[in-house]
Amino acid sequence: MRVVVVGQGYVGLPLAIAAAKSGHFVTGIDTNIKLVEMLSGGRSTISDVSNHDIASTQVSGHYSISSDFAVIADAEIIIICVPTPLDKKRQPDLSYLENALKAVGRHLAPNTLVINESTIAPGATRKVVAPILEESGIPFELAYSPERIDPANPKWNVTNTPKLVAGLTDAATKRAEEFYKTFISEVGTGSSLEVIETAKLLENSFRLINISFINELAQICAQLNIDVREVIDAAATKPYGFMPFYPSAGVGGHCIPVDPVYLAAKANELGTPSRFIELAQEINLQIPDYFVGVATRLLGSLAGKRILVVGVAYKPNVADTRETPAEGLIETLRRAGADVEWHDELVQEWNSETSTPLSDSFDLAILVNPHSDTDFSLLGSTPVLNTRGGY
């Protein structure tokens, strides 16, 4: 089939390449000209897709990249994979999705299947996505299939992670299901759009709540002078009724800190409380203050102290800094008067700053999300505060 994937980032690019490898003719669209130029030259922008993956699908004619939405006119299926982040007030921001939908609508061919993979609130496919596409006056089919991407996960990827699908009509559901089954091993359907929209938000609200709880437990274990990771691993020996989560400087990325806000916003709109989500958010946002307090107890006043934050990506072994907990930690340390630098082998440049080499010239190193190949020996005798637990 002729497929267009709008958005060629951490979600859209792996999806496009997986579909291309299965024999579909895929065109990726992105408005980031630099990214388009890199992909056109066969250079991948993310670790989960290799240069060979891109080059081989380009040579076979099954993958191409463009910044021109006009290519949509020839598509049988259009998949939208654009960010739906939070705005400066930490409220849902659908502007990227709305702009993408308007661009799609200007070039839509009759009876094209449009699938949104971007995270949205329950009811938004029916009340936001469909009306924008209807402005085109062109008949179309519509489905929702939330992305499930875990960058740098060595086990789970696009093709072996179960997929969920629901359509505006039964025909749209069936068409989307049949498409995804051509390159994904397991595809399940829901009885309505709202079921699948809510399921996506449940997945990551569950993770936010449990990680926030574990971060509280880590603080208790610190007072007890025991290793929280040993406690978690001991509890995880129970073969039922328990799932391990691990401490951190706070949750980050494009899902866990974001998706629960979409669910909470919808709950507020309905007049239904979402106290667990609200409390988990509150705990998560307070974690930088806790670790600044720990750093203060270790060093005394932080004024003028040189502190190195190690790993500013939102998780180890990726270069993605979206919603990284390192940002709040660095800001809080600097407000306390510390001279803060950061090191990250994969990120290198971030917030108009560059990565600082590891060395023993710091008063304290704080580990946020160090990568697996970080050489800690370069820190020498520098005291280390590990926000991920353990000693």
CA torsion, ordered 186, 63, 156, 250, to nearest 10 deg: -120
In sequence order, the β-bridge partners of residue 64 are 27
Question: Following DSSP, what letter does each residue of 181-194 receive, concatenated?
Answer: TTT-S-EEE-SSHH
Beta strands in 224-320 (DSSP E): 306-310
Is the Cα torsion angle 172, 178, 183, 188 positive or negative in sign?
A: positive
CA distances from 61 to 54, 55, 104 (A): 11, 10, 23
174 DSSP assignment: H
* Distance in angstroms between the alpha carbons of the first and the last residue of the chain: 53
Q: How many residues does the chain have?
A: 391
Residue 255 annotated among the catalytic residues of the structure: yes
Burial class of residue 185 in the structure, from the number of CB atoms within 10 Å of its CB (0-12 exposed, 13-18 middle, 19+ buried) = exposed
Say which residue the tokens 């009724």 belong to: 241
What amino acid occupies position 87? D
Helix (H) or strand (E) holding 213: helix 193-224
How far apart are alpha carbons 120 and 219 in whole angstroms?
34
Question: Which is catalytic among the residues 6, 78, 209, 255?
Answer: 255
Catalytic residues: 255
